[in-house]
Amino acid sequence: MACPKLFLSCLLLELMFFFLVPEVAQGHSLKVGFYGKACPNAEAIVKEVIGQILSVAPSLSGPLLRLHFHDCFVRGCEGSVLLDSPTYQSEKYAFRKHGLRGYQEIDRVKTALEKACPGIVSCADILALVARDVVVATGGLFYDVETGRRDGYVSISEEARRDLIPPTANITTLKADFAKRGLSAKDLVILSGGHTIGNSHCSPFSNRLYNFTGKGDADPTLDSNYIARLKLSCKPNDQTTLVEMDPGSARTFDIKYFDLILKRRGLFTSDAALLDDNQTKAYLDFQIKTGGSTFFKDFGVSMVKMGRIGVLPKMAGEVRKVCTKVN
């Protein structure tokens, strides 16, 4: 295993992580307003910087929301998605192909926080706060974010490849994967609602257009008119084009993503799979019927749950001074 620090200290840290951090941490060390005394303006600073960023680059809302998900699903919410290394491949390397962005913007938030309160606000917390501020800025509902996360020391590309659910996943895999992190089928459908904003490359769903069963066919569960439309943007083997995941409202946090799924226009197999389970399908139906009566609030609740995954215990980890490097 590649270690970012001296081998022995890295080994000790790994052992601590192994014994102290269950796959699903209960988030006991987290609380709303954790920085109230040590950095009272922390949340206001994050909000202000994100506001400035989105006012000039609104297309960054999707990438900035997604970073918190990728952080939490690999090693837990401890900032490993942000680490760089000159000597080994960190998680970022695995995500390169899948277009994770927004790292510089997180650095910008961190710089502003370090100026106000040096060494206080963790990078893992910054990701959680940024995700909330993006949701609000794009039309979603405010929710309280628990803070107090510690930053980890390790980031390994193979773990990201192993632990992130592929867009080709079926409902059984999706539910099992969420369940092992303490997230329910309801959380699955609600958090998939994050796809109401942002873009995708063609590659995660290209198989559904051109080669679904290996015989040059399309996915019969995907609406044929939508297939024709997607084919105009995405030629076979296209690695660069971006398409809106929620066409026409990809910068607005709304319930149109659920509408798309019900119309068999969910972009990924993993989106469409939400129709294959009674519970997730019922949730979609209910939100469409009631105009999203509970979705906006539910999203905050599920995000808080996601934000508790694998949180490091109080004495473990550190607060990085720079999000790309261990101290």
Catalytic residue ranges = 70
215 C-beta neighbours (distance < 10 Å), count: 6
Separation between Cα atoms, residue 203 and residue 168, nearest integer Å: 11
Residue with smaller CB distance to ligand HEM, 150 or 195:
195
Angle at 161 between CA 157 and CA 167, to 5 degrees: 145
Q: Is 14 annotated as a binding residue?
A: no
Q: Is 80 annotated as a binding residue?
A: yes
Q: How far is the CB of 123 from ligand HEM (least distance, A)?
A: 18
Separation between Cα atoms, residue 139 and residue 196, nearest integer Å: 11
Separation between Cα atoms, residue 302 and residue 135, nearest integer Å: 13
Separation between Cα atoms, residue 167 and residue 145, nearest integer Å: 27
Are residues 233 and 241 in contact, defined by beta-carbon separation less than 8 angstroms?
yes
Residue with smaller CB distance to ligand HEM, 101 or 264:
101
Q: Is 74 annotated as a binding residue?
A: yes
Q: How far is the CB of 257 from ligand HEM (least distance, A)?
A: 10
Q: Is 201 annotated as a binding residue?
A: no
Phi, psi of 277 (to 5 degrees): -135, 135
Q: How far is the CB of 64 from ligand HEM (least distance, A)?
A: 8
Q: Is 195 annotated as a binding residue?
A: yes
DSSP 248-280: T-TTS-SSHHHHHHHTT--SSHHHHGGGGSHHH
Q: Which residues bind ligand HEM (CB under 6 A)?
A: 62-63, 65-66, 69, 98-99, 101, 165, 167, 169, 174, 191-192, 194-195, 197-201, 204, 268, 270
Q: How far is the CB of 267 from ligand HEM (least distance, A)?
A: 8
Residue with smaller CB distance to ligand HEM, 169 or 288:
169
Point out which residues pair with 244 in neighbouring strands.
199
Residue with smaller CB distance to ligand HEM, 45 or 267:
267
User: Residues forming the annotated binding site for Ca(2+)?
Assistant: 71, 74, 76, 80, 91, 196, 246, 254
Which residues make up each annotated binding site?
Answer: 71, 74, 76, 80, 91, 195-196, 246, 254
- Annotated binding site for heme b, which residues? 195
